[in-house]
């Protein structure tokens, strides 16, 4: 079981680094202030889910869920 715990901890570290990089690649929320003046009806605003930004948001969600599940499994205490 020791080797499995080490492998899961390495995967946890890799996922945390991936999450950090993905979050740094995303645009800030200040870029969306055009919605106040009605600029959200542009082509980019309507197709945000299919853009690179939309993919980064989805990838962030998946990685965070994996990170949380893996952290819970490692913290269960069955590895002693």
Q: Where are the alpha helices (DSSP H) in the chain?
A: 2-25, 43-46, 52-74
- Does 36 fall in a domain? no
Q: Residue 32: inside a domain, yes or no?
A: no
- What is the rounded CA–CA span in Å between residue 6 and residue 48? 39
Mean per-residue pLDDT over the chain, rounded:
81
State residue 58's pLDDT score.
92
| Under 8 Å between Cβ of 19 and 64 | yes
Domain membership flag for residue 67: yes
Domain count of the chain? 1
Q: What is the pLDDT of residues 17-43, one digit of tens each?
A: 999 999 999 877 665 555 555 555 555
Q: Is 26 within the bounds of a domain?
A: no
pLDDT tens-digit profile of 52-67?
888 899 999 999 999 9
Q: Within a domain: residue 39?
A: no
- Domain span including residue 72: 1-18+47-80
């Amino acid at each position: 079981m020791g080797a499995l715990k080490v492998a899961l901890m390495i995967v946890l570290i890799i996922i945390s680094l991936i999450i950090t990089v993905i979050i740094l690649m995303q645009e800030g929320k200040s870029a969306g202030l055009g919605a106040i003046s009605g600029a959200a009806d542009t082509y980019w605003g309507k197709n945000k889910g299919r853009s690179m930004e939309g993919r980064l948001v989805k990838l962030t969600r998946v990685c965070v869920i994996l990170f949380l599940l893996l952290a819970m499994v490692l913290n269960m205490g069955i590895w002693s």
